[in-house]
Amino acid sequence: MKHKVYYGLPQKVLFCKKTLMTNQKPNSTVEFTHNKKSKKKTLRFDKKGISESWHYSRLKKKINYKKREEKLIRLLEKHRGKYGEYDCIVPGSGGKDSGYAAHVLKFKYGMNPLLVTWPPILYTSYGYKNFKNWVSTGKFKNISATRDEKTMRVLTKLSILNLLHPFQTFILGQKIFAVKMAIKYKIPLVFYGEHEAEHGSLPLADNYESLRKKSFFTFNNLNKLHLGGVPIKKLETDYSLKKENLEIFLPPSESSLVNFPLEVHYLGYYLKWVPQETFYYAVENCGFLPRPFRTQGTYSKYNSIDDKIDDLHYYTTFIKFGVGRATYDVSQELRNDHLTTAEGKKLIKKYDGEFPDRYFNEIMQYLNINKNYFHHLCNKFRSPHLWKKKKKSWHLRHTANKDGTDD
């Protein structure tokens, strides 16, 4: 029996035999065009049931990183400042990846990075400490975005009500604010850390390119832009948001780059990027500290910990796509040969889908959303081909452990 499918996901649910990730996992998307009717592209599998992300993890072992580093050095020499001026931009908020990227660019390769931050929606105390340590330990200059508080709250609330996507405003700013600062300060070289394609969030072929595609951070038609699932003009007319306060959330136009040779690179293309190793490096060199407790929904303490809404974001991916935070972490560690499949299955079974109640009340109060209504909303976003209701509780039809209601 076929069940209704939401978001354009594959009807048949598969789990990678190597990474345990599902074919329901969505690829990275252009956030400022995301609306209720958007269809997702998802992680691709071969005929043997193996995901692209696993294949790349095997190919990665054969990459000549010495030659990649030589390419990096040539790129840096092309842009290196001669008089102490800023010669590249590193976006981030003080996590392990941005900490590692900024530090090696400055202290190993002799660059002078300008740090650019789109602050979390609700900073965690330890996340804010990591941000301050990131800037101070490397003696960096930092520019942080200043947003209108009402606009931020309204857009974040709309992203939940319309898309069940509490992290949209943060992801959006992460992808566009650094580019806008690059244009403003005429610094044409921007470095992000780990390549998104490594997770299968972009097509496998994208791993062979160091550049981020401009479609992720530019636009050519204002009428096609949406924030919180709402067209820009409606945000002004229906929600009384001012155009000048919305501007910081909008990507630069394609025309603004016509005479500006911007290059947005993934440092993880040039340097072998292993999350656990960037964590150890950031602890030793950048003052990075993990959470003082386990992250709800998973077993780790150091991934995506600077925003209180982070945990809720991963809970909503579990609701919409059947992919919880533990699955993301397990898949990553399996690709890096840090877990066995049996260990991964146990961790997913134990932690995936755990409700993140630590900051939940604070988030709902901040956004003025009724807590019961949020749970009601979650149930509306469950795709019938993924979920089955038995009595008063919801259960996944299929799981990596083969213990779903329809397995």
**250 lies in some domain:** yes
Number of structural domains in the chain:
1
Residue 18's pLDDT is what?
Answer: 97
Q: What pLDDT score was predicted for residue 203? A: 56
Residue 157: inside a domain, yes or no?
yes
Per-residue pLDDT, 92: 95
- Residue range 333-367, pLDDT digits in tens: 999 999 999 999 999 999 999 999 999 999 999 99
- Looking at residue 218, its pLDDT comes to 84
**Nearest Cα to 297, choosing from 358, 354, 360?**
354
Report the C-alpha gap between 94 and 120 in whole angstroms. Answer: 11
Residue 333 lies in a domain: no
Residues of the chain with pLDDT under 50: none
**Residue 207's pLDDT is what?**
55
Looking at the domain assignment, is residue 247 inside a domain?
yes
CATH of the domain at 71: 3.40.50.620
pTM of the prediction? 0.95
Residues 146, 202 contacting (CB under 8 angstroms): no
**Predicted local confidence at residue 214, as pLDDT:** 81
Question: How many whole angstroms separate alpha carbon 141 and alpha carbon 175?
Answer: 20
Residue 148 lies in a domain: yes
The residue assigned the tokens 């030589």 is 70
**What token pair was written down for 378?**
């979650």
Q: Which residues are CB-neighbours of 65 under 8 A, at least 6 positions away? A: 270, 271, 272
Flag whether 57 is in a domain: no
Please tell me the predicted confidence (pLDDT) of residue 388.
97
What pLDDT shows up at residue 32? 87
Domain carrying residue 103: 65-270
Note whether residue 313 is domain-resident. Answer: no
Asked if residue 56 lies in contact with residue 351, where contact means CB atoms within 8 angstroms, the answer is: no
- 343's CB contacts (< 8 A; 6+ apart) are none
